[in-house]
Amino acid sequence: MMTTTDDDTAAAAPVSETPPSAAVRLRSARLSYGERVLWDGLDLDVRRGEFVAVLGPNGSGKTSLLRVLLGLQRLSAGTVEVAGAPARRGGREIGYIPQQRGSDPLLTLRGRDLVGLGLDGHRWGLGLRGRGERRRRVDAALEAVGASEYARMPVGLLSGGEQQRLRVAQALVGDPAVLLCDEPLLSLDLARQRMVSRLIAQQARERDAAVVFVTHEINPILAWVDRVLYIVDGRFRIGTPDEVMTSQTLSELYRTDVDVVRTRGRLLVVGAEDAGSGVHHPEGPEES
């Protein structure tokens, strides 16, 4: 049964001898700007190894949630813990793929230097287990995203999709225990969307990371998603995709008729025209 807390899903999880501790934990969390409440009463645990997608229309507070987890935004009420400590800036255990923005002060860096910041950007000058190890890890991350060929070029000369793959490599290079992704598939073609989705999912499945993945389009990641947090106008639901991505639940959230159709392993969401890009259009993810 879906709830606005994760108690039930936690109960349904496979039994282990020591309960897995949550890498991300929000309790009674509220975020408001002035009169405007983005969300309130949010309880969310994301366990290590778990992949949680965050969906909702523009302005519903998805990026703000990541900023709270990054220690960049204070909650208005409630508590937030990341990797066992109150959320704080610059935690090494966190990998972050920021939302793409036009003006990035790092555009003059070479690609491989940008990726290297994911290893030692938190602690300038200390380095990581020697230069050889550092080079090896940066090379592996560049190769994983298919960026080796253009790694010596200034980032500003690269295409949007090429830059995006470098951001993914930067977030993954430190082998993070918590991976926060803000629309990481933007600017990527379908093949690269699959590649990046798989890399992020592997960080959860094989490296035991907790993944929080903000997106407008669930289809490219549907195979990997364990749970969805769907936020609309301060209302939210948390549950498995099967629980949340239904006509009934989305109609309740959007307060208008929304139809969710499943076809060939994809979800088509129809209706709620005024909900903007919060709906998943049949045309596919590349338009987002």
Ligand X SMILES: Nc1ncnc2c1ncn2[C@@H]1O[C@H](COP(=O)(O)OP(=O)(O)OP(=O)(O)O)[C@@H](O)[C@H]1O
| 38 binding ligand X? (CB under 6 A) | yes
38 vs 70 by CB, closer to ligand X: 38
| 220 binding ligand X? (CB under 6 A) | no
| 62 binding ligand X? (CB under 6 A) | yes
Q: Which of 20, 41, 59, 271 binds ligand X (CB under 6 A)?
A: 59
Give dist(CA 115, CA 120) in Å, integer: 10
Which part of the chain contacts ligand X (CB under 6 A), choosing from 58-66, 116-124, 130-138, 260-268? 58-66
CB of 162 to ligand X, least distance (A): 22
CB of 57 to ligand X, least distance (A): 7
Amino acid at 157: L
Give dist(CA 33, CA 175) in Å, integer: 34
111-120 and 130-144 helices cross at what angle (nearest 10)?
A: 120
Amino acid at 42: L
Which part of the chain contacts ligand X (CB under 6 A), choosing from 62-70, 111-119, 120-128, 154-162? 62-70
CB count, 10 Å around CB of 76?
15
| 98 binding ligand X? (CB under 6 A) | no
Measured in whole angstroms, the distance separating CA 94 from the mean position of its chain's CA atoms is 12
Which part of the chain contacts ligand X (CB under 6 A), choosing from 53-61, 84-92, 123-131, 135-143? 53-61
Two structure tokens written together for 114:
């940008």
36 vs 129 by CB, closer to ligand X: 36
| 64 binding ligand X? (CB under 6 A) | yes
Give dist(CA 246, CA 232) in Å, integer: 15
Q: Which of 60, 170, 187, 219 binds ligand X (CB under 6 A)?
A: 60
| 33 binding ligand X? (CB under 6 A) | yes
50 vs 182 by CB, closer to ligand X: 182
| 174 binding ligand X? (CB under 6 A) | no
Question: Which residues are CB-neighbours of 261 under 8 A, at least 6 positions away?
Answer: 267, 268, 269, 270
151 vs 245 by CB, closer to ligand X: 245
Buried b (16+ CB within 10 A) or exposed e, 204-220: beeeebbbbbbbbbbbb
| 58 binding ligand X? (CB under 6 A) | yes
Q: Which of 56, 176, 184, 241 binds ligand X (CB under 6 A)?
A: 56
Beta-carbon-side half-sphere exposure of residue 217 (alpha carbons within 13 Å): 20
| 274 binding ligand X? (CB under 6 A) | no
# chain residues binding ligand X, by CB under 6 A: 10
CB of 62 to ligand X, least distance (A): 4
Q: E strands along 49-186, which residues?
A: 51-55, 77-82, 85-86, 94-97, 178-182
| 63 binding ligand X? (CB under 6 A) | yes
User: Given the structure tokens 């919060």, which residue do they identify?
Assistant: 278
Residues at the site binding ligand X, with contacts judged by CB under 6 A:
33, 38, 56, 58-64
